[in-house]
Structure 1
Amino acid sequence: MQTDEAPLLSPAHNGAGLGLCIAAVFLSGEMAGSGVLALPHALSNTGWSGLLLLVMFAINGAYIGFRLGTCWEMIAEHYEDFRTHELVRDPYPLIAERTGRVFGQGWGLALRWVTTACIVLTLWGGACVFIILISNFLANLVPLTAMGSCQWLLVVGGVMIPVTWLGSPKDFWPIAIGALVTTSSACILIIAQIVMDSADQDSLSNCTVISRATSLAFISGPEFDPPTFKGFMQAFGTIMFAFGGASTFPTIQADMRNKSHFKWAALIALMVLGVIYTPTSAVGFFLLGNCVQDNIVDNLSAGPIKIVVQSELEISLCVGQIRLAFGRRPST
C-alpha cells in the first residue's frame, strides 16, 4: 500500500539521467545570474523589508519545486508512457493537460495551451533581459569597436539562435556548473571590490561619474530614503524575477534518474541561491545606500576586478540563455 512517506514513483521506474547533486547544481545555475546585478538596488527601494522578501521568495520557490515534483511523480505513476524522459518533451504543459482532463477533454487542451503561453511569455521576457545585459557588457568590454549596445543586441540575438536547437538538460549539465561557478566567483569579487572601494576614499579623483557618487557615499555615509509604493512594487518584481525558473523545473525533473529526488534538489538549489544573493545584496545596500545603481557592477571602480566580474557575468548570462531553451521544448 502506498504511504505518505513512500515515493510515488518507484526506483524501478527511474532510468538514466541527472543525479540529485547535479540536478541541484543545474537548478542553482539556471536561476542564478541577473538577480545578482539588480537585487542591491531592489533593496534600496524596499529597505529592510527587502531582506524579508528575499527569504519569502526563496521559501516560495522551494514550495513550488516540491509541488511540481509531486505532480510529475503522480503523472508518471499513473501513465506508464511518461516514465522516461525520451517520451516527454514538454512536461509542464502535460501536467496541466492531465489535470484539466478531470473536468473534460476540452479543459485539458485549454489548460495545456494556457500553460504553454505562460511559459513562452516568461521565457521571452527572461531572454530579453539576458540579451540586453549581455549586449551592455560587451559594449563595455569591447569599447574600441564602433558597435554600441544596440548593435551588439543584434549580434547576440543571432548567435543565440542555435541555442534553441539544443536537446535535453542531461546532455548539457556541465554548463550549469559553469554558470554557478562564474556567478559565485563574480559575487565574491563584487563584495571584495565594494569593501575595498569603501576603504580607498583617496581614489575619488580617478573614479568615473557613477563611481564618484559611490565614493561620496563612502565618505559621507550611506543615505536611505523611505520606500515608496512605486519603488517597492518595482523591487517586488525584481526579487520575484531573481527567483524565477519554475518553468524549467519539470523539464529537469523529467531528466533525473530518480525523479522522486527532485524535491530535495529544488530545496538545495534555493538554499544555494539564498547564499549567493543575500550577502551581495546586503553589502551593496548597506554600504552604498541610495547610491547603488540599477546594475551593481556600475558601482565598482574601474580596474581588473571589474573587468573580471563583467566577463564572468557575461558567461553566466550566456549560460542563462541556454537554460531558457530548456524551459519550452517542442513536443515530438
Structure 2
Amino acid sequence: MAEEDSIPLVDRPIEMGLTGPTTTVFLVGVMAGSGTLVIPKALSDAGWSGILIILAMAAASTYTAILLGRCLTILRSRHVEYHGHIRGPYPAIGQAAFGKVCRCLITVCVDFSSFGTCVAYLLLIAENIGFLVARFGFDMPYYYWLLAVVLVLCPLCWFGSPKDFTFIGVIAAVATGVACVIILSQMAIDAQRVPPAIHGPVLLKPFLMAFGTICLGFGGHPAIPTILVDMKHPEKYVTSITPAFLIVVLIYLPLSLVGFLVYGSNLNPNVLLTITPGPAIFTVQILMSVHLLTGFVLLLNPVCQEGEDLLNIPHQFGLRRVLFRTALLALTFIIAIAIPNFGVILAFLGGSTVTALVFILPPVLYLRLCAMTGTWDKIDIPLHEKVLCVEIIVVGGLAGATATFSAVEALVSG
C-alpha cells in the first residue's frame, strides 16, 4: 500500500480541528527543539559521516511517521470507538495490533521519552537564561532558574490537547526559524574571527552517543499521533508530515555543517555557548528559550493525557487536571535537579525509547495490522515495502542499543 487513501476511511472532518499547515507547524515545533542546539555537537562527534546519519535518519523517520498515520487510519476504519478524539492514540494502535500488553509497553515508552525530553528541555532553558543574565552581572544557581521556568510552564500545561493551544505550535516554529537565521549569520561572522577549526579523530563512544542525539532530533513520534487525531481532515496526514520533516532537515543540516566547519571539535553540547556572545546571540537565547518552553508543553501533553486517562480525570478543564499536571511539572523539576546533564539524557533517550518509538514500533505495528484478518478489507503490502520495514527495524534496533549502552556508561561514570 503506497497511498494513504487506499485504506477505507471513516473519519469525518473535525470542526475545531487542526488544518494541514497548522499540523505541519505543530510537528516542526515538537521536533526542532533541543535538536537545533545539540545536533551541531553530535555532527562534530560523528565526523563527516554525521551528515549521512542526519539524512538517513530524516528519511527513515519521515517514513515511519507516515506509517503511524496509516496505522491510525486503519485503527479508525476498523473500530468505531476510535472515530472521535482518542486519548493515547499510539498505545491504542498497539492494543489493536497486539493486545493490552503492547499498549502498556508503548505507554511506558511514550511517557518515558516525552517526560525525559521535557527534563532536558528544562535544563537547556535554565542554562540559556542563566548564561544570558550572567552577561549583565546577575548570577544565580541554575536550580533557581529551573524553578522559575516551571512556574511559567504551569498554566500553559493546563490546556487539554493540541487543538486547544494552536498558538503554542506557531510560536515554537516561528521562534526556531528566526533563531536559526540569526545563528547562521553569527557563525558566518565568527568564521572570520575564530582560529581555524580543528577536527579531531572520531571516537567510538561519542560517535554512538551522537547517533542517539540525532535520533532524538527527529523523534517527535510520541506526540505525532496525538497531533494527527486533532486534524480536521486526518486522511491528509502525509501532506502535513512530509513538509514538517523537510523543514526540520533544512534547520538541522545548515546549522550542523556550518558549526562543524567553523568551530570543529570546540563545539559545546549547547551550540549557543560556543558562538561569540553579543546582541545577536542574546536574541537567539531568548527565542530558543521561548521555543523550548512551547516545545515542553507539546511533549508533555501525551504524558498528561495518558495519566488522566489512567486516573479517570475528566476531559474538561478542572481542578483535578490542574493538580495532576502541576504534580508532573514538579517531578520534572526534581529529576532535573538530580541529573543536570542534558547531553547524556538526550543521548540515552534517543538510543532507547525514542529509537523504539521511531524505528521499531511503527513498522512492526503496521505490518501486524495489515496482516490481521477480519470483517475489514485485506491490505496487501508490496514486497519492497516489507523489506524496507524489516531493514529499518534491524538497523535502528542495533544502532539504538549501542547508543543506549554508551549513554548509560557515560551516565554511570558521572
* TM-score bracket for the superposition, by shorter chain length: 0.7 to 0.9
- Match for residue 94 of structure 1? 92
Match in the other structure for 1:31: 31
Match of 2:108 among 117, 127, 130: 117
TM-score by structure 2 length? 0.70
Point out the more displaced range, 67-76 or 285-294: 285-294
Letter in 2 for 1:92: Y
* Counterpart in the other structure of 1:164: 157
In 2, the alpha carbon distance for the partners of 1:165 and 1:280 equals 34
- Say if 2:112 is the partner of 1:137: no
CA distance in 1: counterparts of 2:287 and 2:3, whole angstroms: 44
Measured in 1, the distance between the counterparts of 2:236 and 2:120 equals 31
Q: Name the CA distance, whole Å, in 1 between partners of 2:2 and 2:25.
A: 30
Query: Which stretch shows the higher mean deviation, 155-164 or 22-31?
Result: 155-164
Partner of 2:179: 186
Give the match's secondary structure for 2:157: helix
Give the % identical residues. Answer: 32
Q: Deviations over 1:83-136 (max 9, x none)?
A: 112xx1111111111112xxxxxxx22111111111111011101110001111
2:318 equivalent in structure 1 = none
Cα deviation 1:138-166 (Å, max 9, x = unaligned): 21222344522122122323432444322
Segment drifting more, 48-57 vs 189-198:
189-198
- 1:1-332 to structure 2, matched below 5 A, reads 6-10=5-9, 13-16=12-15, 17-85=17-85, 88-100=86-98, 108-143=99-134, 144-199=137-192, 201=193, 215=194, 217=195, 221-328=196-303, 329=305, 330-331=308-309
Compute the displacement of 1:3 (Å): 10
Residue by residue over 1:22-62, the C-alpha shift from the partner in whole angstroms, topping out at 9 and shown as x without a partner, is 11111011111211111111111111110001011111211
* Cα 1:90/1:288, change in 2 over 3 Å: same
Cα offset for 1:264?
2.5
**Count of residues in correspondence between the two structures:** 304
CA distance in 2, matches of 1:289, 1:302: 18
Structure 2: how far apart are the matches of 1:320 and 1:288? 28
Structure 2 counterpart of 1:316, one-letter code = H
Cα distance, 1:241–1:4 mapped onto 2, change above 3 Å: closer
Amino acid in the other structure paired with 2:108: A
- Partner amino acid for 2:187? I
Distance 2:46 2:209 in 1: 9
How many angstroms does 1:260 deviate by?
1.4
Letter of the aligned partner of 2:40 in structure 1?
Answer: P
- Within 1, Cα distance between the matches of 2:180 and 2:3? 40
Cα distance in structure 2, aligned partners of 1:93 and 1:25: 24
Q: Does the 8 Å contact 2:4/2:235 carry over to 1?
A: no
Q: What is the alpha-carbon distance in structure 1 between the residues aligned to residue 2 and residue 222 of structure 2? A: 29
**Structure 2: unaligned runs, 5 residues or longer:** 315-414
Match of 1:206 in 2: none
CA gap 1:70/1:304 in 2 versus in 1, 3 angstroms: same
Q: For 1:263 and 1:3, locate their aligned partners in 2 and report how far apart those are by CA, in whole Å.
A: 11
Report Cα offsets for 1:166-189 as digits up to 9, x if no partner.
212112122112111111111111
CA RMSD in angstroms, aligned pairs only: 1.9
* TM-score normalised by the chain length of structure 1: 0.87
Q: 137-146 or 119-128, which moves further after superposition? A: 137-146
Indicate conservation of the 8 Å contact 1:8/1:260, yes or no.
Answer: no
Contact 2:228 2:234 in 1 (8 A): yes
Contact 1:166 1:325 in 2 (8 A): no
For residues 237 and 282 of structure 1, what CA distance do their matches in structure 2 show? 18
1:290/1:97 Cα in 2 relative to 1: closer, same or farther (>3 Å)? same
Instruction: Identify if the C-alpha distance between structure 1 residues 136 and 246 changes in structure 2 by more than 3 Å, giving closer, same or farther.
Output: same
8 Å contact from structure 1 (residues 9, 259) kept in 2: no
Q: Distance in 1 between matches of 2:133 and 2:12?
A: 51
Whether contact under 8 Å (2:4, 2:70) holds in the other structure is no
Contact 1:9–1:76 (8 Å) recurs in 2 = no
Structure 1, unmatched stretches of 5+, are 101-107, 202-214
2: CA distance, partners of 1:327 / 1:250: 9
1:6 alignment partner, SS class: helix
**Displacement of 1:81 after TM fit?**
2.2
Measured in 1, the distance between the counterparts of 2:257 and 2:49 equals 12
Greater relative contact order: 1 or 2 (C-alpha under 8 angstroms, separation 6 or more)? 1
CA contact (8 A) 2:118 2:296 kept: yes
- How far apart are the structure 2 equivalents of 1:248 and 1:83? 19
Instruction: Measure the CA separation in 1 of the matches of 2:277 and 2:263.
Output: 17
